[in-house]
A and B are shown apart, each in its own frame.
Chain A
Amino acid sequence: MKGRSLAIYSWLAFGYAFFYVPIVLLVVNSFNASRIGSHWGGFSLHWYQQLLDDPQILAAAWLSLRVAFISACGATLIGGCAGLALGRFGVFRGRMALTGMVAAPLVMPEIITGLSLLLLFVALKSLTGWPESRGFTTITIAHITFCMSYVAVVVQARVATLDFSLEEAAMDLGGRPFRVLLDITLPGIAPALLSGWLLSFTLSLDDLVISSFVSGPGANTLPMLIFSKVKLGVTPDINALASIIIAVVTAGVVIAGVLMLRAERKRVAQRP
């Protein structure tokens, strides 16, 4: 019995090593003065310096951050509505359609989503003249579309754990639905909205394939730029860029986790 437990926990430890060792080595290497990654040439911030002097990378990063911010807000709004409808409204017309359309983007190969959205934008342009050119707007719309599914799933799961007697009481006392949503439902699902927003932000920041399809000439997101560079192999300045992105995302996730844990404790403590 003991031997079996040991074996299974060793496997788990091995799994975590598999997850984290490549990332840790990447970060360590970003401080390596040597150009060849396998030999330690001393500690250096040279590659970070080089990064800050590259206007192309800065422009791509700025575009990616703007897209990610707006996409995360849009996906949280629309995905939140979807999660609320699926988790709270019981049976309604269009429920089947909504369930299917929310689940499908989670597993749909990105190349199909990307190609189909591009064809939509092209068709819309020849019909209505909009969008005039592809770039920020089209990438943002595409990102909202695939991110909102994740928000919907998180919100739906959260709604399922909430007690709705308070909401019903407010309705019975004559509260208008929108008011009840703002005052009672929203605080209840706020942690799910926050994690949905963060998840959307990171997914948007990371997307390569869909962005490649729906962006036009001149509009390069950060992953598009990184991909075009690393196709040819490992470059030290990308190590530095990768380390920055990983640090920012990890910090964001940890902060969000702490905030959510605190909100949860408060909620439990306040319960009568």
Chain B
Amino acid sequence: MNSLRRSAALAGFRLVIAGIPILWLGLFFLAPFLLVFRTSFADPVIAQPPFTPLFDAAGGIHATLDNYTLLLNDSLFLSSYLGSVRIAAISTLLCLIAGYPMAYAIARSPQPWRTLLLLLVILPFWSSFLLRIYAWMGLLGTHGVINSLLLDLGLIQRPLALMYNDAAVYLGIVYTYLPFMVLPLYAVLEKHEIALREAALDLGARPLRVFTDITLPLSMPGVVAGSMLVFIPAIGEFVIPALLGGLDTRMIGRALFDEFFINRDWPLAAAVATVLLLVIVLPLMVFQRGQARAHP
């Protein structure tokens, strides 16, 4: 009897502990997506809130596909989606190229050093993201540090246009998201690397061969996880293109932000968000799957 009551208490306790986050996320994370979806079928009106309700006064359903037809026919949105995917993909590749050797070097460094080296990768992540982008504005600007240095050295006669273009956006994304690439790569490299590598080398394998046959395949989960952690948020990035990008830097996060805050067309912004969600749903599923496998 006593043990029965105890297990009931335990079940109740677990229900509460698991129930609180499920309820919170259900209300404040999941339900809002349904509202975005619903709003994307509304018409914009000048009212508060600025869109038509789903049910009109007569009780009928008011839904329109206008926002989606507009979206598909407007070259601005199409090029913004493509631009976002392109910029995110190239930035992810750059992060991989820059981050892999870093993770490899940390994983191979002597044990006492590793924690410190890892901390130095994590630390920038703790300091403000907005301010780190702002710091680059001070470096890249027309009167910025790089330009004045080059001018003083006599290497250039006129300041270079280092900012307000796509290259500056790549730089900003790599700078911001590089830790997200290095950490999962380090996690897999640290686990498998040393013993297997030494065994292969002892057996006479050439270093390049060891890398392509052992290190690289074993680190693939880290490559996938890191790439998703960079690629998905980069697609929807707003701050970096807004501060470092040029007027012709088309990214969908910026288009959505402008549609919402400048044109005040909430239904169209909701449609843009819905399509953006469709764009990232595939990489999102790859990421979730990898996470589920890593934490069974």
Contacts and interface: CB of A to CB of B under 8 A. Distances in A.
Interface of A: 1, 4, 8-9, 11-12, 15-16, 18-20, 22-23, 25-26, 29, 36-39, 78-79, 81-82, 84-86, 89, 92, 94-95, 97-113, 115-117, 119-120, 122-123, 126, 141-142, 144-145, 148, 152, 156, 160, 171, 174, 176-178, 181, 199, 202, 205-206, 208-209, 212-213, 223, 226-227, 230-231, 233-234, 238-239, 242, 245-246, 249-250, 253, 257
Given A25-B135, A238-B134, 19 more contacts: A12-B105, A15-B102, A18-B175, A38-B145, A89-B14, A98-B22, A100-B288, A102-B21, A103-B287, A107-B229, A109-B237, A111-B257, A116-B32, A119-B270, A202-B127, A209-B239, A213-B260, A233-B137, A234-B138
Interface string B260-283: 110000100110010011001000
Contacts, number: 256
B17 A81 contact: yes
B79 interface: no
A87 B117 CA distance: 28
B218 interface: no
Interface in B25-84: 25-33, 35-36, 39, 49
Given A1-B207, A38-B145, A115-B260, A208 B239 contact: yes
B interface, how many residues as a size bin? 35 or more
B36 A119 contact: yes
A199 B126 contact: yes
Interface in B169-216: 175, 178, 207
Contacts of A223: 128, 130
- Chain B, interface SS category: helix
A95 B19 CA distance: 10
A239 B138 contact: yes
Interface in B93-148: 98-99, 101-102, 104-106, 108-109, 117, 119-121, 123-124, 126-132, 134-139, 141, 143-145, 147-148
Given A109-B236, A156-B295, A209-B239, A101 B25 contact: yes
B160 to A, nearest CB: 13
A100 B243 CA distance: 32
B222 interface: no
